[in-house]
Amino acid sequence: MSGAFGPHVPVLLDEVIAALRPEPGSVIVDATFGAGGYSRALLAAGATVHAFDRDPDAIAAGERWDEARAEPPRLVLHPRRFSEMVAALAEAGVARVDGVAMDLGVSSMQLDRAERGFAFQLDGPLDMRMGPDGPSAADFVNTAPEAEIADVLFRYGEERQSRRVARAIVAARPLTTTGALATVVRKALGHRPGAPKDPATRSFQAIRIHVNAELEEIECGLAGAETLLRSGGHVAVVSFHSLEDRIVKQFLRDASGAIAGGSRHLPQAITKYSPTFCEISRAVHPSAGEIARNPRARSATLRYATRTAALPRERRVA
């Protein structure tokens, strides 16, 4: 979950739980366990939860819950990427689930810890990895060609001055801390102290998304939900910026068969798939009251849908 500093509060919690409709005996995937806000509410409703997180700290915290120690456990923790949910649940002997919740982006617990290297407000090692494996942000900015850095900043951060920032990053190598990277970006963009938004925000978002392959994870996670959900099951996805929401919106639109129709200039669009999702929601945003209580909720968007009885579309899923 993306957001500012402060205690972790699950965003749009009531709306997510209402969309998933848990009841005693339900089996639900919490694809992004984090601090367990959604899992706690799902467990309270009587569901068994399979929770995924690639962050060892999140998994370690969940292992202390009573529900994880019960026999059989009602909270089953998977220290894996949520793109691997199909394979992980197959190994656990679970073929179908009643719901899938996804809360995208970086968690407040990761942001709040300087040593994780996510936030430019706290100086720490330039890491940004959600899990312990793979190249870090420092590896990327210190070794990637200038053109590749510029492409990442433009594609994932929508940074209009991406070439200028990339040039400055390469000139300042090696960069080893979040503070050093933020200083380089601010200088390249002519940062004015007191401006409403720190210009380093877009570059940090872009590098984090790239390092963690976040958009590819979302695509695989949605495909996994399509494979795992029983007929009548529900998926609920909370996103925090337009790149994430665009993927979710397009996936559900395509999965529902809501392909743009023809016109006098173009032939009628035809899909060979039966709709795999129905009851597609419109975008749901936090109330003014929730935003006042929890400012990190301001940019959140929830979309949810119901699985049909159609076979999953042909997709490559882990």
Q: Residue 306's CB: how many other CB atoms inside 10 A?
A: 18
Q: Residue 213's CB: how many other CB atoms inside 10 A?
A: 15
Q: Distance between CA atoms of 190 and 259, rounded to whole angstroms?
A: 44
Domain boundaries in the chain? 13-108+214-307, 114-212
pLDDT in the model for residue 105: 73
Give, in degrees to the nearest 5, the angle at Cα 149 between 165 and 129: 110
Q: Distance between CA atoms of 172 and 141, rounded to whole angstroms?
A: 10
Q: Distance between CA atoms of 284 and 14, rounded to whole angstroms?
A: 12
3-state SS, residue 94: coil
Between strands 301-307 and 229-239, the pairing is: antiparallel
Topology adopted by domain 13-108+214-307: Rossmann fold (3.40.50)
Q: Is 111 in contact with 38 (CB distance < 8 Å)?
A: no
Topology adopted by domain 114-212: DNA polymerase; domain 1 (1.10.150)
Q: Token pair 């409403």 is at which residue?
A: 196
Kindly state the tokens that stand for 188: 């390249």
Closest CA to 300 of 287, 289, 290, 285: 285
Q: Distance between CA atoms of 87 and 51, rounded to whole angstroms?
A: 14
**The model's pTM:** 0.88
Q: Distance between CA atoms of 166 and 86, rounded to whole angstroms?
A: 38
What is the full per-residue pLDDT of the chain (318 aa) written as tens digits?
Answer: 333 334 567 999 999 999 999 999 999 999 999 999 999 999 999 999 999 999 898 999 999 999 999 999 999 999 999 999 999 999 999 999 999 999 997 655 444 444 444 566 678 899 989 888 889 999 999 999 999 999 999 999 999 999 999 999 999 999 999 999 999 999 999 877 777 788 988 999 999 999 999 999 999 999 999 999 999 999 999 999 999 999 999 999 999 997 654 445 555 455 567 999 999 999 999 999 999 998 889 999 999 999 999 999 865 344
